[in-house]
Amino acid sequence: MTRILTPGCLAIFGLVAFSPKVIPAEEAAASRSLDLPATMIFAEGPNRYDGEVLEIFQGRGSTIGWYVEAKRAEPVDVFVEYTCEAPLNQAYQLSFDGENRFWEVDPTLDESWQRAHLGTFTMRAGLPVLVLLVPPSQTKFSHPVRFRRLVLESETPDNLSLSGLPEPPVSPDGAPGFGEKLADLHPALVARDLRDESLTLRVSGLARRGGNELLLTTWDGDLYALDLEALPEAGTPPFRLLARGLSEPMGLAVSGDRIFVTEKNQVTELIDDDGDGRFETYRCVSQDWPATMDYHEYLFGAVIRDRHLYFCNSVGMARRGQDNYQAPLRGSLIRVDLQSGERKILAGGLRTPDGVGIGNDGRILITDNQGEWLPANKLIVAREGAFHGFRSIPPWHPLDTGKQDPPAVWLPQGEVAASPTQPIVLPESWGPYQGHILFGDVTYGGLQRVVLEEVDSVPQGAVFRFSQGFHHAFHRFALTDDGTLYAGGIARGKDREFIERVSGLTRIAFTGEPVFEPLAARIRSNGLEVEFTEALAQGTGWDPAAWHVTRWGYQPTQTYGGRKVRHRLAAVRAATVSSDRRRVFLEIPDLVEGEVVHVRLSRSLSSASGRPLRSGDLWYTANRIPEDRPGEVRPAPSGALTAAEPWFRFGTGDVGEQVYRNFCSACHSLDGEKRAGPTFRGLAGSIRKVRPDPGADAQEIEATRDYLHESILDPNALLSDGYLPNQMPPLGDLLTPEQIDAVVNFLIEQTSPR
């Protein structure tokens, strides 16, 4: 059962923003104290209630949180009332409006209630503040923490009040590219699958050598070359094996004739000592950071700038449920001198930073994957000394001062990314997309596009869906001088058929074919400007109702993923079309720094040339809001605010299908096609082999509605036989209970015997 606070948001389209219903504090506390009862949390996950007491056996998947409001800003003390019969192996986290404290739970001697002071925080006035009590991730306890309430105490009587959980805004009905993943290849792209049926190329690194040679490393430890001049227009590409015996290479870079590979535990230069074309020497350029036997410790990416190699190392995962230990310096952006091997830690707090690239201005770009401490995926513009939020247990990363550098762009999970990979900047030959950043995704698939700008020297920008319709899930990229993009695919999981199908190499050419889609977005002091690839049709774009705008923040926690914080509609007060009809300024009052603004465009918009809109979503991360860049607001021409048809339709689409397409379809097919997870074909009512943990005996269970619910909330609870734990994230924190019900209904309907 999931308990939800009373909805309190006036979700009236086009009108407002956030107006939560206020629940008065207990009369007895009408002074300086506010109770946050255990019964009023968002979701208990796999835990259970004993009357009004929540017994927490397991952290993953539960959301113990409340929204609190204050009339005036002031310090607030937070207390917890609990019992706990034995010590825990890890600390709880209290996240107060993004400020963290760690609570080492002292055992209580008997079952009497104890009250512990968790810290003093600064309560801001205005927007509701989210208070989260977060159990250790990945941990199951034989004895629970019995938890009754948090208590907030302030100086000023009646200053604090408990808000209801705002109900997420209702999304307009989806279609591919509009609230859903795109379904096809971008019209301006031509893609060719460079397949050699005799090879399984799980591409882990890709780089050019000289003018016409492409080098690629594979997950299996090989280095191949492809002579692009000898590439036939059809038939098998002439891949040539150059080297082997590499240890989980995940990055490849070439400087002149020198080849560098980031392997699992070291940076390696491949050297041909005698010029015979064979690499006899693997030089260890650097291994100057600790390593353990954790399977998830990788070196990701490899780019060269100024005689230095830049790459990231990921954090371990194997001990998260045990004691959450990380080897020192894990989760870093690292720079190594190519000659001396001298190593410098440039940034920390990364988790699974698979993608490393170089931006327009020479700065390093990083993509990082959603998970613990990352409520969504990220595109980061690196800054020396920055800390990006992933924490383990003390000793902290040397750059962890408790404060986090925000990403340049949040990449919301399931909506536009799931496992983002290498970012690459597009060259001049890509026309309107010159300077934009493409990145791949080994779960979500396809290519997405980011456009950056700076405000007060802080990078930020927007992400757009760009293309699906490829054979491969792209991991690494290389561009040739003529702008041809080579994209290497890699498959997750262990299913051989899936691996062979999704891995490989694709050649992508930009044709310049005109497309009508949002091109860029720019922040203004009073709203957001959206630029299009073509002029809008005469008289369109002026109606504020044609723009469905929502916004939210993120609050990182030590448990997997995270919900949108203060997810609410944003009022569009006016829409002003530029004189060339290529840009529309959306006046949005009260933009909040640090939040994501999501704009859904109406499918009814068309270009002056009559082309329909290809994609209709953008997500802008507003790290800074400029004070001196107002957007121009002009009155709409007469007749421009009249629409013959509603710009959006609500409730006629299948929410369950939409959730399936955004969150499930990358790994689970409906038709039996093999993907990273088990297919859903014939699922409903079937007998499944599952294991409570990988070492346990398999047991048979019927795939009922309850089973599906449990698997969505806690995928590790009943693992499908043959699959490892933690491959699927718990979705209880990303989806509303209504969305979960909808997707369960959809799956039952789609997979029942007919």
Query: Given the rule CB under 8 A, which residues bind other proteins?
Result: 221, 241-248, 263-266, 271, 273, 278-284, 287, 291-293, 295, 297
Smallest distance from the beta carbon of 242 to other proteins, in angstroms?
8
Q: Considering beta carbons, is residue 273 or 306 the nearer one to other proteins?
A: 273
Q: Which CB atom, from 97 or from 297, has the smaller least distance to other proteins? A: 297
Which ranges of 181-307 does DSSP label H, i.e. alpha helix?
Answer: none
Nearer to other proteins, 271 or 537 (CB): 271
Residue closer to other proteins (CB basis): 316 or 459: 316
Task: Report the nearest approach of other proteins to the CB of residue 303 (Å).
Answer: 23
| Closest of 412, 452, 457 to residue 433, by C-alpha | 452
Rounded Cα gap, residues 338 and 341, in angstroms? 6
The set of residues, in sequence order, having a beta carbon less than 8 Å from that of 498 and lying 6+ positions away, is 491, 674, 675, 676
Helix or strand run (H / E) with residue 655? helix 655-659
Indicate left, alpha or beta for 722 from its phi (over 0: left) and psi (-120 to 50: alpha): left
Residue (164 or 249) nearer to other proteins, CB: 249
CB 352 → other proteins: shortest distance, Å?
A: 16
Nearest to 587 by CA among 637, 631, 536, 635: 631
CB of 286 to other proteins, least distance (A): 10
Contacts 24+ apart (CB under 8 A), 257-263: 257/209, 258/338, 259/207, 259/209, 259/215, 259/223, 260/285, 260/302, 260/304, 260/309, 260/338, 261/205, 261/217, 261/223, 261/302, 262/205, 262/299, 262/300, 262/301, 262/302, 262/309, 262/311, 263/299
Which element (helix H / strand E) includes 739?
A: helix 737-751
Of 596, 623, 605, 218, nearest to 417 by C-alpha is: 596
> Do residues 260 and 267 touch, judged by C-beta distance below 8 A?
yes
Question: Based on the number of CB atoms within 10 Å of its own CB, is 330 exposed (0-12), middle (13-18) or buried (19 or more)?
Answer: buried
Least distance between other proteins and beta carbon 278 (Å): 6
Q: How far is the CB of 287 from other proteins (least distance, A)?
A: 6
Closest distance to other proteins from the beta carbon of 289 (Å): 11
Strand order from edge to edge, sheet including 377-381: 355-358, 364-368, 377-381, 409-411
CB of 332 to other proteins, least distance (A): 17
By C-beta, is 266 or 711 nearer to other proteins?
A: 266
266-271 contacts, C-beta under 8 A, 24 or more apart: 266/299, 267/299, 267/302, 267/309, 267/311, 267/336, 267/341, 269/338, 270/223, 270/243
- Fill in the amino acid letter for 194: L
Asked if residue 94 lies in contact with residue 558, where contact means CB atoms within 8 angstroms, the answer is no
Q: Which residues contact 575 (CB under 8 A, 6 or more apart)?
A: 541, 542, 543, 544, 546, 547, 584, 585, 586, 587, 636
Measured from the CB atom, the residue of 70 and 226 that comes closer to other proteins is 226
Query: 682 exposed, middle or buried (CB, 10 Å; 0-12, 13-18, 19+)?
Result: middle
C-alpha 427/C-alpha 711 separation (Å) is 44
Question: Which CB atom, from 9 or from 243, has the smaller least distance to other proteins?
Answer: 243
Minimum CB–partner distance for residue 142 and other proteins (Å): 29
Q: Which is nearer to other proteins, 55 or 213 (CB)?
A: 213
Rounded to a whole number of angstroms, the minimum distance from the CB of residue 290 to other proteins is 9
Could you tell me the smallest distance in angstroms from the CB atom of residue 266 to other proteins? 7
Compare residues 312 and 376 and give the one whose CB is closer to other proteins. Answer: 312
Q: In terms of CB distance, is 257 or 456 closer to other proteins?
A: 257
Nearest residue (CB) to other proteins, 269 versus 368: 269
Could you tell me the smallest distance in angstroms from the CB atom of residue 105 to other proteins?
32
Residue 516 CB, shortest distance to other proteins, in Å, is: 47
C-beta separation of 506 from 487 below 8 A: yes
Nearest residue (CB) to other proteins, 15 versus 284: 284
